[in-house]
Amino acid sequence: MIDLHVHSTFSDGSLTPVALVELAEKDGLSAMALSDHDTTDGIPLFLEACKGRKLIGIAGVEISADFNPGTMHILGYFFDPSNSALAEALFRMRNGREVRNKLILEKLNKLGLKITWEDVLKFTSEDVVGRPHFAQALLAKGYISDFKKAFEQYLGKGKPAYADRFRLTPEDSIRVIREAGGVAVLGHPVSLGVKDDNLRELVKRLAGAGLRGIEVFYPEHKQKQVQQYSAIAKEFGLVLTGGSDFHGTITPDIRLGRGFGSLCVDDELLVPLRVAAGRE
């Protein structure tokens, strides 16, 4: 069993890279990718922690691409974390997060939700602050009854406290991953918010830009969607990947490697991904 979609304290996860490695080994994973949002800063610690263990550590990242009507994330694997072009692109995106975070805070306060920046920082131990940290602050203040309601009522796209930020285009997201020697994968297509025919045309376009895979196996994908995404991947010669999108205590219902309990990403999927990345 492998997990190619995991977050640490370097973005919006609750566990450090080292703690993730220890948990993965305890849970019997054979390979895991650290794929923090718009940062690779946790990768050196992660890969170092994997040394001398049976667990295969994979350098990963999750880039938020500019897309409507839904949300598009491009996952990258097997790239060089020290690549300067990738580092510069991710730096620009993190700066965009800072501007966006100030706007979110202002909007929440105007809505009568008295949240301070210090309240938000209590829930992050690293530099990347995202909407999940605002959600945790809202929950701690008692403004919402559970984590998901923060997005449903305030922080989700189109909601009253939502604020946009700088993002790369999907094609540029793929390009910076490829130029860093990595392989680009379309993350959880369920979040795109597009219909079947439009999804096929979108994947066709992205495949032409260098996309090499689709995250088919994901906790929120129903069996019908797994079949649909698998068929589209096959049509365009893309590899199938999967992961739990594990965040630790932030998403307590999701388990590392198993999602809501039924997810199981087979070890065999790692081979074609490595081939796509030129590692076989």
The number of helices, as runs of H, and strands, as runs of E, in the chain is 10, 7
**150/191 same-domain check:** no
Quick check: 38 pLDDT over 70? yes
**171/66 same-domain check:** yes
**173/151 same-domain check:** no
**Residue 149 and residue 128 in contact, taking contact as beta carbons nearer than 8 Å:** no
**Residue 154 and residue 105 in contact, taking contact as beta carbons nearer than 8 Å:** no
* Amino acid 132: pLDDT: 87
Q: In Å, what is the CA distance from 252 to each residue of 4, 147, 159, 279?
A: 18, 10, 24, 34
Please state the pTM of the whole predicted model. 0.86
**125/212 same-domain check:** no
**181/251 same-domain check:** yes
Report pLDDT digits (tens) over 69-118.
899 999 999 999 999 999 999 999 888 888 889 999 999 999 999 999 99
In the structure encoding, which two tokens stand for residue 50, read together? Answer: 């994997």
* Stretch (H or E) spanning 185: strand 183-186
Q: Of the ranges 12-16, 88-92, 144-148, 177-181, which is most confident? A: 177-181
**190/262 same-domain check:** yes
Q: Is residue 161 part of a domain?
A: no
What's the 3-state SS for 120-160?
HHCCCCCCCCCHHHHHHHHHHHCCCCCHHHHHHHHHCCCCC
User: Per-residue pLDDT averaged across 116-138, rounded?
Assistant: 85
CATH number for position 108 = 1.10.150.650
Q: Is residue 32 part of a domain?
A: yes
**174/202 same-domain check:** yes
**More confidently predicted of 129 and 89:** 89
* Amino acid 126: pLDDT: 65
**131/206 same-domain check:** no
**86/105 same-domain check:** no
CATH number for position 50 = 3.20.20.140
Among the residue ranges 30-34, 35-39, 71-75, 127-131, the one predicted with the least confidence is 127-131
* Amino acid 127: pLDDT: 67
* Amino acid 279: pLDDT: 82
Quick check: 33 pLDDT over 90? yes
**114/74 same-domain check:** no
3-state helix, strand, coil in the chain (%, to 5): 45, 15, 40
Q: What is the mean pLDDT of the chain?
A: 94
Number of domains, the chain: 2
Q: Is residue 160 part of a domain?
A: no
Q: Is residue 47 part of a domain?
A: yes
Distance, CA of 172 to CA of 66 (rounded, Å): 10
Split at pLDDT 50, 70, 90, the class of 213 is very high
Burial of 31 (0-12, 13-18, 19+ CB in 10 A): buried
Per DSSP, which regions of 45-122 are E strands? Answer: 56-65, 72-77
Residue 123: give the domain boundaries: 100-155
